Amino acid sequence: TSSNVTVGSSAATVLSFHAVAQPTFSRRCRGCPIRKPTPISISSGPNLAIRSARRATFADLDRVPATDNDVVTRSFNSTPRRYRPLPVSGERLRKPFSPVMAEDEGYVSLTPRHARPHNGRVPAHRIAFVIFPDFQSLDLTGPFEVFAGANQRLGRAAYELWTVATTAGPVRSNSGLTIAADRSIIDIEPGDVDTLIVAGGSGVLLAKDDEQLMAWIATVSKRCKRVVSVCTGTFLLAAAGVVVDERVTTHWAYADRLGRDYPALTVDPDPIFIRNDKVWTSAGVTAGIDLALAIVEEDHGADIAQVAARWLVMFLRRPGGQSQFAASVWAEPAVPGPIRVAQDHIHTDPSADLSVPRLAERAAMSERHFLRIFSKQMGCTPSDYVERVRVDAARRLLEESSDGVEVVARSAGFGTAETMRRVFVRRIGVSPSDYRRRFATATSDRTSA
């Protein structure tokens, strides 16, 4: 069957040859349907090393000088139904090529330039985990297992995993578990890291004063593809100047402190993780696993991430935010006085009438004055404070009692189950029924059974 080969985009040089009717694929050049030497009639041109027409093989094409604009393409027509038109000369072919695609698409690239090596290997994505004394061990081991599991599922080392500390060697976590850091920060060039993951833990408050470590994190962050913090690792990104005025998250128990220490940040304590361009921040501890699964999904697709999640007995996408795991609201008691009286009344009977007029009356203040003083002392409005207390009361009842959702809603002061459901979804991201299924104690399970 007659076919054409076009070499070069600036000079029209055409090679005519006769392809075999049933193409086979040579190991020598992936996608090439010619295994045996094939007659080729060559017309001379400025881009060809062969100057006379003779019998040749595709090996001759290896000796054709290439320029930046040169493209070698071929179409073959082994049967009429497989015919595909030859692409426009000079147009670069952007699809990756394989024998199957060559057969389907009707053309392949014969030049190795701008293509993967013939062995098909892809460089591993290099991930550096930063640890320090009193880091949280799960912030390291959780994401580490996700990426290691992805390697197993893919059947290759798609991720190269390093543990990095100021000094290579054993580093003790805040639980007492000791991890050996593979490398020190001075051993790694800024361009060596593709994804930087900074662990959290109680040691961040000292680690952020390590000027050498902070300078290294700041430098590497500028060059790598992703910058990730797990749990309180967000403190180190903020101290290094990696995050300045972005929206971030961290462990719910440290969210207020992060906001106070770095007021330019918008700290959202509810999401499991937040992504801002190349910077990812996660909520507390095990949320780092959720974030790592999201990275695997972005790199290799949902199927690989789903399998990795199942092996870890995890949700690929955890329902709800970390607010559902936060402890019951605890606020500094107001200074002794009328606001303290109103606050005690709210906690004593969440199901009572806790509107602003009733609370102001109990505090012996005008509504306007009560609203202003309460907001100043408690840091939120009376209605917001009441709603938080009622949510906590409902959570305790859902966890510890077998009362129905309607009964719980009335006891906690919501009035109806629908009102409570809307508040739960807005506040903690899950419905009351879902919350009970996840957090009910063994005693309440036995009672309800």
Could you list the active site residues? 231
Count CA atoms closer than 13 A to 301's CA, side-chain side: 4
Separation of alpha carbons 259 and 270, rounded Å: 14
Separation of alpha carbons 295 and 278, rounded Å: 11
Separation of alpha carbons 280 and 278, rounded Å: 7
Q: Characterize the bridge pairing of strands 247-248 and 183-184.
A: unpaired
